Amino acid sequence: MRTTYMAKPNAVERKWYVIDASGKRVGRLASEIASILRGKHKPEFTPHVDTGDFVVVVNADKVVFSGNKLHKKIYRRHSGYPGGLKEIRAVDLLKTHPERVLFNAVRGMLPHNSLGRKQLTKLKVYAGPNHPHQAQQPIPWESASN
């Protein structure tokens, strides 16, 4: 009888990838990043184990929205207090905190549990072309959808 391979959390080998977000659409890029963070690109992918790699995203301020989403999409958050709803449009968030646009998109595509929160810590998003992770020697990610 054959058994299904299950990855062990301490036996996972992690790599660092760098992705240039300039000119790419938010949703398509976020789904690809979420797949890398989960480890779905690896043959030893196990759904209940964090088998993913680290992702460094640069030029997050140059992402593109399709259609009219840049002006119509609204990001909402709530403080938990009465009247604590905060709303900001995508065009304004892209001007003030461009890394949050991609971060929120990827967060919505990961599992909504403790495993997803752990996987999200491996995402590093930067607005400009520079990042402080040169010591990890990140490899450029070749996107399947260029």
Q: What is the mean pLDDT of the chain?
A: 94
Stated pTM of the model: 0.92
Burial-class residue 21 by CB neighbours within 10 Å (0-12, 13-18, 19+): buried
Query: Which CATH number is 15-64+98-140 given?
Result: 3.90.1180.10
The pLDDT of 36-59, averaged and rounded, is 95
Domain residue ranges of the chain, discontinuous segments joined by +: 15-64+98-140
pLDDT > 90: what percent of the chain? 90
Q: Where does the pLDDT of residue 61 fall: very low under 50, low under 70, confident under 90, or very high at 90 and above? A: very high
The type of residue at 13 is E
Residues composing the chain: 146
At 6 the three-state DSSP class reads: coil
In this structure, the dihedral spanned by the alpha carbons of residues 144, 18, 94 and 22, taken in order and rounded to 10 degrees, is -50
**What does the pLDDT read at residue 145?**
58
Q: In this predicted model, what pLDDT tens digit does every residue of 16-47 receive, in sequence order?
A: 999 999 999 999 999 999 999 999 999 999 99
